[in-house]
Amino acid sequence: MAATLANRAFVITGAASGIGLSTAKLLLARGASVAISDLNKTSLEKVYDSLDESQKNRVFLQPVDVADRSGVKRFLEAAKRHFGRLDGVANIAGTLGRLMGTHQVWELPTEEYDLVMNTNVRGVFNFMAESLRPGFLEQSSSVVNVSSFAGIRALDKAVPYCASKHAVIGLTKAAALEAGPLGIRVNAVLPGATLTPLMDSTVGRVGTSPISETSTPIPRPADVSEVSNVIAFLLGPESTFVTGAAWTVDGGASA
């Protein structure tokens, strides 16, 4: 049986849909309070409206551009004031970019690279840089960064995305060394093909998934809950000796 997370508060980025939304609802179901952020305020409000009253009392929401460090700092400080404490951060906000699956590296404009790196790498850096300041998070807190199985292998026509997800793993491992003496763990989760609106939009544009699941030992895409279960485990008290790790949740695609 999963441990209760009552009296704990967590920050979740990219919480308006997909893995972020699934993680927020799972943590709420286990008794936690959550500060949820996304770029789209309307989408966040729809999430809030879908919750029951007991859950709404444990939610703080605010739109945030993860690439804006000053905005990230304001959000984190507001969340901590609201709950009185923060016990962890799940950096889930991400993008596949606009041209993934269609352009070779020599065809890519710099703007595409900047878009992907600003969200997937700078966003993770900003949240870690502000939340890992000594004394900001509770001792025994946990940070979980969502990378991808593309962070340990290559995908065709996905240079910015692969580069960004490799970088997230590097950020995670380096931050784990620095945060360990503070009593804080830092880990990464590496999903493979997952049924999310982000993936659906890319399939609709490209005509096929850029992350194929047909050749994996478990030949299907993951449900978002199968990824959020691992994120919740790493955020919670059942993984207190796990840090600096990169957990693949890809049906064996990277085996």
Specify the range with the lowest mean pLDDT, choosing from 104-108, 118-122, 144-148, 216-220: 216-220
Residue 102 has pLDDT above 70, yes or no: yes
Query: With bands split at pLDDT 50, 70 and 90, how would you rate the model's confidence at 236?
Result: very high
pLDDT score at 201: 58
Residue range 153-169, pLDDT digits in tens? 999 999 999 999 999 99
Q: Which domain holds residue 111?
A: 9-249
Give domain status of residue 3, yes or no.
no
Q: Are 232 and 34 in contact (CB under 8 A)?
A: no
Give domain status of residue 207, yes or no.
yes
Question: What is the domain count for the chain?
Answer: 1
Please give the Cα distance from 130 to 122 (Å, whole number). 12
Query: With bands split at pLDDT 50, 70 and 90, how would you rate the model's confidence at 216?
Result: confident
* pTM of the model as a whole: 0.93
Give domain status of residue 254, yes or no.
no
Q: DSSP assignment, residue 156?
A: T
pLDDT score at 197: 75
Average pLDDT, the chain: 94
Residue 206 has pLDDT above 80, yes or no: no
Residue 77 has pLDDT above 90, yes or no: yes
pLDDT score at 205: 52
Q: Mind telling me the catalytic residues? A: 161, 165
To 10 degrees, what angle do helices 159-179 and 110-117 make?
Answer: 30
pLDDT score at 208: 58
Query: Which SS3 state, helix, strand or coil, does residue 57 take?
Result: coil
H runs (alpha helix) in the chain: 18-29, 41-49, 53-56, 69-83, 110-117, 123-131, 159-179, 197-206, 224-235
pLDDT score at 203: 52
Q: Are 76 and 53 in contact (CB under 8 A)?
A: no
What CATH number is associated with residue 110? 3.40.50.720
Residue range 127-150, pLDDT digits in tens? 999 999 999 999 999 999 999 999
